[in-house]
Structure 1
Amino acid sequence: MEQNAKASEVPKSAEVKPEDSSTKSNEDKKAEPWGYDLYPERRGTFSPKLTNVLIGKEGKEGIEKMKCEKNVYECVKNSPIVKIMMRALKSSGCAVDLRRHISCEVCDYSVSGGYDPELNQIVVCQNVSTRQGMVQGVLAHEMIHMFDYCRNQLDFKNMEHLACTEIRAANLTHCSFMSAWSQGDASYTRIKKAHQDCVKTKALYSVLAVRQISKPEAIDIIEKVFPKCYADLEPIGRRIRRNSEDMTRAFKEASYYGYD
Protein backbone atom coordinates (compact mmCIF):
# COMPACT_ATOMS: atom_id res chain seq x y z
CA MET A 1 0.00 0.00 0.00
CA GLU A 2 1.15 3.50 -0.68
CA GLN A 3 1.74 5.72 2.28
CA ASN A 4 0.29 9.16 1.68
CA ALA A 5 2.89 11.89 2.15
CA LYS A 6 0.71 15.00 2.31
CA ALA A 7 -2.86 15.84 3.17
CA SER A 8 -4.47 19.22 3.56
CA GLU A 9 -6.76 18.13 6.38
CA VAL A 10 -7.25 15.27 8.78
CA PRO A 11 -9.95 12.72 7.93
CA LYS A 12 -13.40 14.20 8.39
CA SER A 13 -14.80 11.00 9.79
CA ALA A 14 -13.24 8.91 12.50
CA GLU A 15 -14.05 5.58 14.07
CA VAL A 16 -13.74 6.36 17.74
CA LYS A 17 -13.92 4.57 21.05
CA PRO A 18 -16.84 6.16 22.96
CA GLU A 19 -15.01 6.45 26.27
CA ASP A 20 -12.10 8.31 24.68
CA SER A 21 -13.97 11.13 22.93
CA SER A 22 -14.01 13.36 26.01
CA THR A 23 -10.29 13.24 26.66
CA LYS A 24 -9.26 15.84 24.09
CA SER A 25 -7.85 19.02 25.59
CA ASN A 26 -8.96 22.58 24.86
CA GLU A 27 -5.62 23.14 23.16
CA ASP A 28 -6.38 20.30 20.75
CA LYS A 29 -9.77 21.79 19.97
CA LYS A 30 -8.32 25.20 19.18
CA ALA A 31 -5.78 23.66 16.83
CA GLU A 32 -8.27 21.83 14.64
CA PRO A 33 -11.38 23.74 13.46
CA TRP A 34 -12.80 20.64 11.73
CA GLY A 35 -11.50 17.98 14.08
CA TYR A 36 -8.50 17.02 16.11
CA ASP A 37 -5.00 15.98 15.13
CA LEU A 38 -5.89 12.31 15.33
CA TYR A 39 -3.71 11.28 12.40
CA PRO A 40 -0.19 12.64 13.06
CA GLU A 41 1.52 10.45 10.47
CA ARG A 42 -0.83 11.76 7.80
CA ARG A 43 0.04 15.31 8.78
CA GLY A 44 3.74 14.59 9.00
CA THR A 45 3.82 15.42 12.71
CA PHE A 46 4.47 11.95 14.11
CA SER A 47 7.81 10.99 15.63
CA PRO A 48 8.31 8.21 18.20
CA LYS A 49 8.82 9.47 21.74
CA LEU A 50 11.78 8.03 23.61
CA THR A 51 9.69 7.13 26.66
CA ASN A 52 7.18 5.25 24.49
CA VAL A 53 9.99 3.47 22.63
CA LEU A 54 11.47 2.32 25.95
CA ILE A 55 8.19 0.80 27.10
CA GLY A 56 7.57 -0.80 23.70
CA LYS A 57 4.57 1.35 22.78
CA GLU A 58 6.34 2.92 19.79
CA GLY A 59 9.35 2.21 17.62
CA LYS A 60 7.91 -0.76 15.72
CA GLU A 61 5.96 1.19 13.14
CA GLY A 62 7.35 -0.76 10.17
CA ILE A 63 6.32 -4.11 11.65
CA GLU A 64 2.91 -2.72 12.63
CA LYS A 65 2.35 -1.47 9.08
CA MET A 66 3.13 -4.85 7.54
CA LYS A 67 0.77 -6.63 9.95
CA CYS A 68 -1.94 -4.07 9.27
CA GLU A 69 -1.62 -4.40 5.51
CA LYS A 70 -1.79 -8.19 5.81
CA ASN A 71 -4.97 -7.89 7.86
CA VAL A 72 -6.47 -5.50 5.32
CA TYR A 73 -5.71 -7.94 2.51
CA GLU A 74 -7.26 -10.85 4.43
CA CYS A 75 -10.41 -8.85 5.14
CA VAL A 76 -10.79 -7.79 1.52
CA LYS A 77 -10.30 -11.39 0.44
CA ASN A 78 -12.44 -13.16 3.05
CA SER A 79 -14.83 -10.83 4.91
CA PRO A 80 -18.41 -11.02 3.54
CA ILE A 81 -19.36 -7.50 4.60
CA VAL A 82 -16.14 -5.96 3.25
CA LYS A 83 -16.57 -7.80 -0.05
CA ILE A 84 -20.15 -6.54 -0.30
CA MET A 85 -18.98 -2.97 0.22
CA MET A 86 -16.17 -3.39 -2.31
CA ARG A 87 -18.69 -4.59 -4.91
CA ALA A 88 -21.11 -1.78 -4.08
CA LEU A 89 -18.40 0.85 -4.47
CA LYS A 90 -17.27 -0.63 -7.77
CA SER A 91 -20.81 -0.74 -9.14
CA SER A 92 -21.21 2.92 -8.15
CA GLY A 93 -18.15 3.90 -10.17
CA CYS A 94 -15.84 4.16 -7.16
CA ALA A 95 -13.79 0.97 -7.30
CA VAL A 96 -11.35 0.54 -4.40
CA ASP A 97 -7.65 0.09 -5.17
CA LEU A 98 -5.92 -1.21 -2.03
CA ARG A 99 -2.69 0.59 -2.87
CA ARG A 100 -4.43 3.90 -3.42
CA HIS A 101 -7.52 3.99 -1.23
CA ILE A 102 -6.51 2.24 2.01
CA SER A 103 -3.59 3.38 4.15
CA CYS A 104 -2.25 1.87 7.38
CA GLU A 105 -0.92 4.65 9.60
CA VAL A 106 -0.06 5.63 13.16
CA CYS A 107 -2.99 7.41 14.81
CA ASP A 108 -4.02 8.90 18.11
CA TYR A 109 -5.02 6.06 20.44
CA SER A 110 -8.57 7.40 20.74
CA VAL A 111 -9.48 6.27 17.21
CA SER A 112 -9.19 3.03 15.28
CA GLY A 113 -9.64 4.41 11.78
CA GLY A 114 -10.98 7.23 9.63
CA TYR A 115 -11.99 8.39 6.18
CA ASP A 116 -10.25 11.27 4.40
CA PRO A 117 -12.53 12.68 1.67
CA GLU A 118 -9.81 15.06 0.50
CA LEU A 119 -7.88 12.05 -0.79
CA ASN A 120 -10.78 9.57 -0.90
CA GLN A 121 -8.77 7.33 1.37
CA ILE A 122 -9.53 5.09 4.35
CA VAL A 123 -7.07 5.22 7.23
CA VAL A 124 -6.60 2.07 9.31
CA CYS A 125 -4.86 2.87 12.58
CA GLN A 126 -2.10 0.28 12.66
CA ASN A 127 -1.22 0.98 16.29
CA VAL A 128 -4.83 0.56 17.48
CA SER A 129 -6.52 -1.85 15.05
CA THR A 130 -4.01 -4.62 15.63
CA ARG A 131 -6.32 -7.60 15.09
CA GLN A 132 -8.02 -8.73 11.92
CA GLY A 133 -11.47 -8.39 13.46
CA MET A 134 -10.81 -4.78 14.36
CA VAL A 135 -9.54 -4.05 10.85
CA GLN A 136 -12.70 -5.59 9.42
CA GLY A 137 -14.83 -3.30 11.58
CA VAL A 138 -12.85 -0.23 10.46
CA LEU A 139 -13.02 -1.13 6.77
CA ALA A 140 -16.76 -1.83 6.83
CA HIS A 141 -17.50 1.37 8.77
CA GLU A 142 -15.32 3.64 6.65
CA MET A 143 -16.52 2.09 3.39
CA ILE A 144 -20.02 3.26 4.30
CA HIS A 145 -18.63 6.81 4.46
CA MET A 146 -16.75 6.27 1.20
CA PHE A 147 -19.96 5.02 -0.42
CA ASP A 148 -21.94 8.01 0.83
CA TYR A 149 -19.27 10.39 -0.42
CA CYS A 150 -19.16 8.69 -3.83
CA ARG A 151 -22.85 7.99 -4.37
CA ASN A 152 -24.59 10.75 -2.39
CA GLN A 153 -22.17 13.68 -2.67
CA LEU A 154 -21.71 13.75 1.10
CA ASP A 155 -20.39 17.04 2.49
CA PHE A 156 -18.42 16.36 5.67
CA LYS A 157 -18.54 20.04 6.66
CA ASN A 158 -22.34 19.83 6.79
CA MET A 159 -23.22 18.58 10.26
CA GLU A 160 -26.43 16.92 9.13
CA HIS A 161 -24.57 15.06 6.41
CA LEU A 162 -21.91 13.94 8.90
CA ALA A 163 -24.50 12.81 11.43
CA CYS A 164 -26.38 10.90 8.73
CA THR A 165 -23.38 8.92 7.49
CA GLU A 166 -22.35 8.12 11.07
CA ILE A 167 -25.87 6.84 11.78
CA ARG A 168 -25.74 4.66 8.68
CA ALA A 169 -22.28 3.31 9.50
CA ALA A 170 -23.29 2.45 13.06
CA ASN A 171 -26.56 0.89 11.91
CA LEU A 172 -25.04 -1.25 9.16
CA THR A 173 -21.74 -2.33 10.68
CA HIS A 174 -21.68 -2.10 14.47
CA CYS A 175 -24.78 -2.36 16.59
CA SER A 176 -26.24 -5.50 18.06
CA PHE A 177 -28.08 -6.11 21.31
CA MET A 178 -24.85 -7.16 23.04
CA SER A 179 -22.96 -4.04 21.95
CA ALA A 180 -25.88 -1.91 23.11
CA TRP A 181 -25.81 -3.70 26.45
CA SER A 182 -22.08 -3.03 26.82
CA GLN A 183 -22.70 0.71 26.29
CA GLY A 184 -25.52 0.80 28.84
CA ASP A 185 -28.15 1.44 26.15
CA ALA A 186 -30.12 -1.75 26.61
CA SER A 187 -32.00 -3.64 29.29
CA TYR A 188 -34.45 -6.51 29.35
CA THR A 189 -37.32 -4.01 29.43
CA ARG A 190 -35.96 -1.97 26.52
CA ILE A 191 -35.02 -4.61 23.97
CA LYS A 192 -37.01 -2.97 21.19
CA LYS A 193 -35.14 0.29 21.61
CA ALA A 194 -31.71 -1.26 22.11
CA HIS A 195 -30.60 -1.18 18.49
CA GLN A 196 -31.70 2.41 17.83
CA ASP A 197 -30.10 3.60 21.06
CA CYS A 198 -26.86 1.85 20.18
CA VAL A 199 -26.83 3.50 16.74
CA LYS A 200 -27.46 6.94 18.25
CA THR A 201 -24.73 6.48 20.86
CA LYS A 202 -22.16 5.28 18.35
CA ALA A 203 -23.01 8.10 15.93
CA LEU A 204 -22.86 10.67 18.72
CA TYR A 205 -19.36 9.74 19.86
CA SER A 206 -18.13 9.61 16.28
CA VAL A 207 -19.44 13.12 15.61
CA LEU A 208 -17.99 14.49 18.85
CA ALA A 209 -14.61 12.96 18.04
CA VAL A 210 -14.12 15.06 14.92
CA ARG A 211 -16.11 18.25 15.45
CA GLN A 212 -16.05 21.15 17.86
CA ILE A 213 -19.67 20.89 18.86
CA SER A 214 -21.41 20.48 22.20
CA LYS A 215 -23.03 17.19 23.12
CA PRO A 216 -26.57 18.69 23.22
CA GLU A 217 -26.06 20.22 19.76
CA ALA A 218 -24.83 16.91 18.36
CA ILE A 219 -27.78 15.06 19.90
CA ASP A 220 -30.25 17.52 18.36
CA ILE A 221 -28.74 17.05 14.89
CA ILE A 222 -28.71 13.26 15.21
CA GLU A 223 -32.34 13.21 16.33
CA LYS A 224 -33.32 15.48 13.42
CA VAL A 225 -31.88 13.26 10.69
CA PHE A 226 -32.26 9.91 12.46
CA PRO A 227 -35.58 8.64 10.97
CA LYS A 228 -34.47 9.07 7.36
CA CYS A 229 -30.85 7.98 7.82
CA TYR A 230 -31.66 4.99 10.04
CA ALA A 231 -34.06 3.71 7.39
CA ASP A 232 -31.48 4.04 4.61
CA LEU A 233 -29.88 0.59 4.32
CA GLU A 234 -28.04 1.09 1.03
CA PRO A 235 -25.96 -0.59 -0.23
CA ILE A 236 -26.31 -3.51 2.17
CA GLY A 237 -30.09 -3.65 2.48
CA ARG A 238 -30.83 -4.68 -1.09
CA ARG A 239 -28.19 -7.39 -0.89
CA ILE A 240 -29.78 -9.01 2.14
CA ARG A 241 -32.62 -10.13 -0.08
CA ARG A 242 -30.20 -11.55 -2.63
CA ASN A 243 -27.96 -13.45 -0.25
CA SER A 244 -29.38 -13.72 3.24
CA GLU A 245 -26.97 -16.44 4.37
CA ASP A 246 -23.84 -14.41 3.59
CA MET A 247 -25.34 -11.28 5.14
CA THR A 248 -26.36 -13.08 8.33
CA ARG A 249 -22.74 -14.14 8.75
CA ALA A 250 -21.51 -10.67 7.79
CA PHE A 251 -23.71 -8.91 10.33
CA LYS A 252 -22.67 -11.32 13.08
CA GLU A 253 -19.01 -10.67 12.34
CA ALA A 254 -19.44 -6.91 12.10
CA SER A 255 -21.46 -6.74 15.32
CA TYR A 256 -18.97 -8.92 17.19
CA TYR A 257 -15.93 -7.02 16.05
CA GLY A 258 -17.39 -3.52 16.03
CA TYR A 259 -16.52 -2.83 19.66
CA ASP A 260 -13.53 -5.21 19.86
Structure 2
Amino acid sequence: MTFIDDYLTEEAKKDSIPEKSPPEGKQWGYDLYPERRKPDTTPNVSGLLDKKGYENIQKIKCERNVYKCIKQSPIIKLMMGALKSSGCPVDIRRHISCEECDPSVSGGFDPVLNQVVVCQNGAKKPAHVQGVLLHEMIHMFDYCRHDLNFRNLDHLACTEIRAANLAHCSFMSAWVQGDASLFNIKATHGDCVKSKALSSILATRNVSTEEAVDAIERVFPKCYRDLEPVGRRIRRNSDDMYKAYTEGFYYGYDSV
Protein backbone atom coordinates (compact mmCIF):
# COMPACT_ATOMS: atom_id res chain seq x y z
CA MET A 1 0.00 0.00 0.00
CA THR A 2 1.36 3.40 -0.93
CA PHE A 3 0.45 6.94 -0.06
CA ILE A 4 1.64 10.46 -0.82
CA ASP A 5 1.56 13.32 1.66
CA ASP A 6 1.99 17.03 1.07
CA TYR A 7 2.51 18.00 4.70
CA LEU A 8 6.23 18.59 4.16
CA THR A 9 7.54 21.95 3.11
CA GLU A 10 9.32 22.10 -0.22
CA GLU A 11 12.65 22.46 1.59
CA ALA A 12 11.97 19.42 3.76
CA LYS A 13 11.06 17.37 0.71
CA LYS A 14 14.37 18.22 -0.90
CA ASP A 15 16.24 17.21 2.24
CA SER A 16 14.38 13.93 2.66
CA ILE A 17 14.76 12.40 -0.82
CA PRO A 18 16.23 14.85 -3.29
CA GLU A 19 16.56 12.56 -6.25
CA LYS A 20 12.91 11.56 -6.72
CA SER A 21 10.56 13.88 -4.83
CA PRO A 22 6.99 13.56 -6.12
CA PRO A 23 5.35 16.73 -7.42
CA GLU A 24 3.25 19.02 -5.29
CA GLY A 25 -0.36 17.99 -4.69
CA LYS A 26 -2.94 17.16 -2.11
CA GLN A 27 -2.58 14.28 0.28
CA TRP A 28 -3.48 11.00 -1.43
CA GLY A 29 -3.13 8.68 1.54
CA TYR A 30 -6.15 10.13 3.34
CA ASP A 31 -5.59 10.15 7.10
CA LEU A 32 -4.64 6.51 7.50
CA TYR A 33 -1.22 7.44 8.86
CA PRO A 34 -1.78 10.26 11.39
CA GLU A 35 1.80 10.26 12.68
CA ARG A 36 2.92 11.35 9.21
CA ARG A 37 1.18 14.66 9.91
CA LYS A 38 2.22 15.56 13.44
CA PRO A 39 5.54 16.24 15.17
CA ASP A 40 7.18 13.45 17.09
CA THR A 41 6.89 13.50 20.85
CA THR A 42 9.39 12.13 23.31
CA PRO A 43 8.10 9.42 25.66
CA ASN A 44 8.06 10.25 29.36
CA VAL A 45 7.49 8.25 32.52
CA SER A 46 4.16 9.87 33.35
CA GLY A 47 2.92 8.98 29.88
CA LEU A 48 3.26 5.26 30.51
CA LEU A 49 -0.16 5.22 32.16
CA ASP A 50 -2.09 6.93 29.38
CA LYS A 51 -2.87 6.16 25.73
CA LYS A 52 0.42 7.63 24.56
CA GLY A 53 2.28 5.36 26.96
CA TYR A 54 0.52 2.32 25.50
CA GLU A 55 1.45 3.48 22.01
CA ASN A 56 5.08 3.78 23.11
CA ILE A 57 5.03 0.18 24.35
CA GLN A 58 3.48 -0.92 21.04
CA LYS A 59 6.21 0.95 19.18
CA ILE A 60 8.98 -0.81 21.11
CA LYS A 61 7.43 -4.22 20.41
CA CYS A 62 7.01 -3.35 16.75
CA GLU A 63 10.63 -2.24 16.42
CA ARG A 64 11.79 -5.48 18.02
CA ASN A 65 9.75 -7.47 15.51
CA VAL A 66 11.17 -5.42 12.63
CA TYR A 67 14.71 -6.02 13.86
CA LYS A 68 14.01 -9.74 14.26
CA CYS A 69 12.68 -9.99 10.70
CA ILE A 70 15.66 -8.14 9.25
CA LYS A 71 18.10 -10.40 11.07
CA GLN A 72 16.30 -13.73 10.70
CA SER A 73 13.79 -13.69 7.83
CA PRO A 74 15.34 -14.97 4.57
CA ILE A 75 12.82 -13.13 2.39
CA ILE A 76 13.41 -9.79 4.14
CA LYS A 77 17.17 -10.33 3.97
CA LEU A 78 16.74 -10.94 0.24
CA MET A 79 14.84 -7.67 -0.15
CA MET A 80 17.48 -5.79 1.83
CA GLY A 81 20.20 -7.22 -0.41
CA ALA A 82 18.27 -6.49 -3.60
CA LEU A 83 17.69 -2.88 -2.55
CA LYS A 84 21.36 -2.47 -1.64
CA SER A 85 22.51 -3.93 -4.97
CA SER A 86 20.11 -1.59 -6.77
CA GLY A 87 21.69 1.47 -5.18
CA CYS A 88 19.10 1.96 -2.45
CA PRO A 89 20.55 0.50 0.77
CA VAL A 90 18.12 0.40 3.68
CA ASP A 91 19.04 1.99 7.00
CA ILE A 92 16.43 0.61 9.38
CA ARG A 93 16.67 3.72 11.58
CA ARG A 94 15.95 5.96 8.60
CA HIS A 95 13.83 3.94 6.18
CA ILE A 96 11.53 1.89 8.43
CA SER A 97 9.14 3.48 10.92
CA CYS A 98 6.74 1.89 13.40
CA GLU A 99 3.70 4.12 13.83
CA GLU A 100 0.10 4.25 14.99
CA CYS A 101 -2.18 3.93 11.96
CA ASP A 102 -5.82 3.75 11.06
CA PRO A 103 -7.10 0.26 12.01
CA SER A 104 -7.94 -0.46 8.36
CA VAL A 105 -4.27 -0.69 7.33
CA SER A 106 -1.21 -2.64 8.49
CA GLY A 107 1.50 -0.73 6.69
CA GLY A 108 2.40 1.64 3.90
CA PHE A 109 5.16 3.10 1.77
CA ASP A 110 5.79 6.84 1.81
CA PRO A 111 7.69 7.82 -1.38
CA VAL A 112 8.17 11.39 -0.16
CA LEU A 113 10.33 10.22 2.74
CA ASN A 114 11.28 6.91 1.11
CA GLN A 115 10.05 5.10 4.22
CA VAL A 116 8.26 1.87 4.96
CA VAL A 117 5.61 2.31 7.65
CA VAL A 118 4.75 -0.66 9.87
CA CYS A 119 1.51 -0.08 11.77
CA GLN A 120 2.34 -0.93 15.36
CA ASN A 121 -1.33 -1.20 16.33
CA GLY A 122 -2.13 -3.54 13.45
CA ALA A 123 0.93 -5.70 12.78
CA LYS A 124 1.69 -7.15 16.20
CA LYS A 125 3.17 -10.57 15.43
CA PRO A 126 6.52 -11.26 13.72
CA ALA A 127 4.84 -13.13 10.85
CA HIS A 128 2.51 -10.19 10.21
CA VAL A 129 5.39 -7.71 10.39
CA GLN A 130 7.32 -9.86 7.91
CA GLY A 131 4.38 -9.72 5.48
CA VAL A 132 4.11 -5.95 5.83
CA LEU A 133 7.85 -5.46 5.31
CA LEU A 134 7.87 -7.68 2.23
CA HIS A 135 4.87 -5.94 0.68
CA GLU A 136 6.16 -2.43 1.29
CA MET A 137 9.76 -3.26 0.35
CA ILE A 138 8.49 -4.40 -3.04
CA HIS A 139 7.06 -0.89 -3.47
CA MET A 140 10.39 0.53 -2.31
CA PHE A 141 12.24 -1.72 -4.78
CA ASP A 142 9.99 -0.65 -7.66
CA TYR A 143 10.47 3.00 -6.71
CA CYS A 144 14.23 2.50 -6.60
CA ARG A 145 14.60 0.59 -9.85
CA HIS A 146 12.04 2.30 -12.08
CA ASP A 147 10.77 5.76 -12.87
CA LEU A 148 7.69 5.05 -10.78
CA ASN A 149 5.06 7.75 -10.42
CA PHE A 150 2.58 6.87 -7.68
CA ARG A 151 0.17 9.50 -9.00
CA ASN A 152 -0.12 7.49 -12.22
CA LEU A 153 -2.87 4.94 -11.62
CA ASP A 154 -1.31 2.39 -13.99
CA HIS A 155 2.04 2.63 -12.17
CA LEU A 156 0.30 2.24 -8.83
CA ALA A 157 -1.72 -0.73 -10.06
CA CYS A 158 1.43 -2.43 -11.31
CA THR A 159 3.35 -2.17 -8.05
CA GLU A 160 0.28 -3.28 -6.06
CA ILE A 161 -0.10 -6.29 -8.36
CA ARG A 162 3.54 -7.20 -7.81
CA ALA A 163 3.28 -6.82 -4.04
CA ALA A 164 0.15 -8.96 -3.87
CA ASN A 165 1.67 -11.53 -6.22
CA LEU A 166 4.91 -11.93 -4.27
CA ALA A 167 3.79 -11.31 -0.70
CA HIS A 168 0.22 -12.45 -0.16
CA CYS A 169 -1.70 -14.74 -2.43
CA SER A 170 -1.06 -18.29 -1.36
CA PHE A 171 -3.89 -20.75 -2.07
CA MET A 172 -5.05 -20.64 1.56
CA SER A 173 -5.18 -16.84 1.68
CA ALA A 174 -7.12 -16.85 -1.59
CA TRP A 175 -9.53 -19.40 -0.11
CA VAL A 176 -10.14 -17.17 2.91
CA GLN A 177 -10.78 -14.18 0.62
CA GLY A 178 -13.26 -16.20 -1.42
CA ASP A 179 -11.14 -16.13 -4.58
CA ALA A 180 -10.18 -19.81 -4.49
CA SER A 181 -11.23 -22.65 -6.74
CA LEU A 182 -10.04 -26.23 -6.45
CA PHE A 183 -10.53 -26.67 -10.20
CA ASN A 184 -8.45 -23.79 -11.50
CA ILE A 185 -5.63 -22.91 -9.13
CA LYS A 186 -3.84 -20.69 -11.66
CA ALA A 187 -6.90 -18.51 -12.15
CA THR A 188 -7.44 -18.56 -8.39
CA HIS A 189 -4.06 -16.99 -7.74
CA GLY A 190 -4.56 -14.33 -10.39
CA ASP A 191 -7.98 -13.43 -9.00
CA CYS A 192 -6.52 -13.15 -5.50
CA VAL A 193 -3.79 -10.81 -6.76
CA LYS A 194 -6.35 -8.62 -8.52
CA SER A 195 -8.56 -8.53 -5.43
CA LYS A 196 -5.69 -7.58 -3.13
CA ALA A 197 -4.38 -4.93 -5.52
CA LEU A 198 -7.87 -3.46 -5.87
CA SER A 199 -8.38 -3.19 -2.12
CA SER A 200 -5.00 -1.49 -1.70
CA ILE A 201 -5.71 1.06 -4.42
CA LEU A 202 -9.18 1.90 -3.11
CA ALA A 203 -7.88 2.28 0.44
CA THR A 204 -5.42 5.01 -0.49
CA ARG A 205 -6.74 6.68 -3.64
CA ASN A 206 -9.89 8.64 -4.25
CA VAL A 207 -10.85 6.75 -7.41
CA SER A 208 -13.87 4.69 -8.36
CA THR A 209 -13.83 0.90 -8.35
CA GLU A 210 -14.29 0.96 -12.11
CA GLU A 211 -11.23 3.18 -12.61
CA ALA A 212 -9.12 0.96 -10.35
CA VAL A 213 -10.26 -2.26 -12.04
CA ASP A 214 -9.57 -0.81 -15.50
CA ALA A 215 -6.02 0.14 -14.45
CA ILE A 216 -5.39 -3.32 -12.99
CA GLU A 217 -6.61 -5.04 -16.15
CA ARG A 218 -4.48 -2.80 -18.39
CA VAL A 219 -1.20 -3.69 -16.69
CA PHE A 220 -1.95 -7.11 -15.21
CA PRO A 221 -0.32 -9.45 -17.79
CA LYS A 222 3.05 -7.70 -17.70
CA CYS A 223 3.17 -6.91 -13.98
CA TYR A 224 1.92 -10.35 -12.91
CA ARG A 225 4.81 -11.98 -14.78
CA ASP A 226 7.41 -9.73 -13.13
CA LEU A 227 8.74 -11.65 -10.11
CA GLU A 228 11.81 -9.52 -9.34
CA PRO A 229 13.60 -9.59 -6.98
CA VAL A 230 12.09 -12.69 -5.33
CA GLY A 231 12.11 -14.81 -8.47
CA ARG A 232 9.19 -17.00 -7.41
CA ARG A 233 5.78 -16.85 -5.81
CA ILE A 234 6.04 -17.72 -2.14
CA ARG A 235 3.80 -20.62 -1.12
CA ARG A 236 2.63 -20.94 2.45
CA ASN A 237 4.36 -23.59 4.59
CA SER A 238 7.05 -24.15 1.97
CA ASP A 239 10.78 -23.50 1.78
CA ASP A 240 10.31 -20.99 -1.06
CA MET A 241 11.63 -18.09 1.05
CA TYR A 242 14.87 -19.94 1.75
CA LYS A 243 15.26 -20.93 -1.89
CA ALA A 244 14.72 -17.35 -3.02
CA TYR A 245 17.30 -16.09 -0.55
CA THR A 246 19.95 -18.66 -1.49
CA GLU A 247 19.41 -17.97 -5.20
CA GLY A 248 19.73 -14.21 -4.78
CA PHE A 249 23.45 -14.10 -5.53
CA TYR A 250 22.81 -15.55 -9.01
CA TYR A 251 21.07 -12.26 -9.83
CA GLY A 252 23.73 -10.05 -8.27
CA TYR A 253 21.94 -9.32 -5.02
CA ASP A 254 24.14 -8.71 -2.00
CA SER A 255 23.92 -10.99 1.01
CA VAL A 256 22.98 -9.21 4.23
User: TM-score category by the smaller chain?
Assistant: 0.7 to 0.9
Query: Counterparts of 1:111-126 in structure 2 under 5 Å?
Result: 111-126=105-120
* 1:69 matches 2:69: no
Structure 2 residue aligned with 1:200: 194
Q: Is the 8 A contact 2:75 2:244 kept in 1?
A: no
Confirm or deny that 1:247 pairs with 2:247.
no
Q: C-alpha offsets along residues 10-36 of structure 1, whole Å, 9 cap, x if unaligned?
A: xxxxxxxxxxxxxxxxxxxxxx65231
- Identity over aligned residues, as a percent? 65
1:187 Cα offset (Å): 2.0
Correspondence 1:209 to 2:203: yes
- Give the whole-Å Cα distance in 1 for the aligned partners of 2:118 and 2:81: 20
Query: Retained in 1: the 8 A contact 2:162–2:227?
Result: yes
Q: Does 1:103 align with 2:107?
A: no
Please give the secondary structure, in 2, of the residue aligned with 1:123: strand
- Check whether the contact 1:85–1:235 (CA below 8 A) recurs between aligned residues: yes
2:160 maps to 1:139: no
User: Distance between the aligned counterparts of 1:171 and 1:97, measured in 2?
Assistant: 26
For 1:140-179, what aligned pairs fall within 5 Å after superposition? 140-179=134-173
For 2:200 and 2:241, how far apart are their aligned partners in 1?
A: 30
Q: For residues 169 and 239 of structure 1, do their structure 2 counterparts lie closer, same or farther at Cα, with a shift above 3 Å needed?
A: closer
Moved over 6 A (4+): none
Q: Aligned-pair distance for 1:46?
A: 9.8
TM-superposition CA deviations, 1:165-220 (whole Å, max 9, x none): 00000001111111111111112233231110110000000000110111111011
For structure 2, the 5+ residue unaligned runs are: 1-5, 10-25, 42-46, 247-256
TM-aligned CA deviation for residue 244 of structure 1? 6.0
TM-score normalised by L of structure 2? 0.77
Give CA-to-partner distance per residue, 1:200-245, whole Å, 9 cap, x none: 00000000011011111101110000000001111111899xx967
**Does the residue aligned with 2:106 lie in a helix, a strand or coil?**
strand
How far has the Cα of 1:248 moved from its partner?
6.8
- Is 1:44 the counterpart of 2:44? The answer is no
Give the drift of 1:59.
4.5
Note the alpha carbon deviations across 1:80-116, whole angstroms, 9 max, x for none: 1100000000000100001000011111110000000
| Distance change >3 Å, CA 125–CA 223, structure 1 → 2 | same
CA 1:120–1:244 in 2, change beyond 3 Å: closer, same or farther?
same
C-alpha RMSD over aligned residues: 2.8
Whether the 8 Å CA contact 2:160–2:200 is kept in 1: the answer is yes
Conserved 8 A contact 1:65-1:105: yes
Normalising by structure 1, what TM-score? Answer: 0.76
Quick one: which amino acid aligns to residue 8 of structure 2?
Answer: S
- Tell me the number of residue pairs that the alignment of Structure 1 and Structure 2 aligns: 214
1:85 & 1:97 partners in 2: Cα distance?
A: 13
